[in-house]
Amino acid sequence: MSTQGCLMCEMEGAAEEVVIFRDELWACEILPGYEVPGWVVLRARRHAVGWTGLDEAELNSFGHRARAVDGALKRVTHAPATYVMIFGEAYPHFHALMVARGVDVPPERRTGDILKLRAEWADPARAHQLLPGLRAAYTDLAQAGDLDTIPTHWRSQR
């Protein structure tokens, strides 16, 4: 299977400025075109198509990573809810769009309809301003939950 044109694979070359964490299996970043404050993508580092394309290590670790990212989003944005959306149609490479749903989101734009706010609420500068807080919160939450979820290159810096 060709990975050419796969946005999730192309994120491997993304600058560190958009990265919340990267470890051997998973990465969490701000995705181009989805630069809404509090919106991030959690993606498999290798090209795995859908749930069935994940190997045992990825399956066993996804929940830990998602839980720590969810907690980081809530801690930094103070959002009362976060959404984890996995569609796999536009980009079959396994990934989850994780969205902090703030109190300012009108009821008619909650749940799946929050995606309709993507263009209107895009604010790349503000999305990037959240990154230091998200990185720190992710590291704290990952450490509290499971040392294995802390990216190796961050362990020596703590």
CATH code assigned at 109: 3.30.428.10
The fraction of the chain above a pLDDT of 90, given in percent, is 77
Q: Residue 61 belongs to what domain range?
A: 11-141
Tally Cβ neighbours within 10 Å of residue 70.
20
* In a domain? residue 147: no
Q: Are the CB atoms for 82 and 73 separated by under 8 Å?
A: yes
Q: Which two tokens stand for residue 74?
A: 């809530």
Stated pTM of the model: 0.87
Q: Is the pLDDT of residue 4 over 80?
A: no
pLDDT digits (tens, 9 = 90+) for 14-47: 999 999 999 999 999 999 999 999 999 999 999 9
Q: What is the DSSP letter of 110?
A: S
* In a domain? residue 5: no
Q: Are the CB atoms for 107 and 62 separated by under 8 Å?
A: no
- What per-residue confidence (pLDDT) applies to 89? 87
Which of the two residues, 66 and 150, has the higher pLDDT score?
66
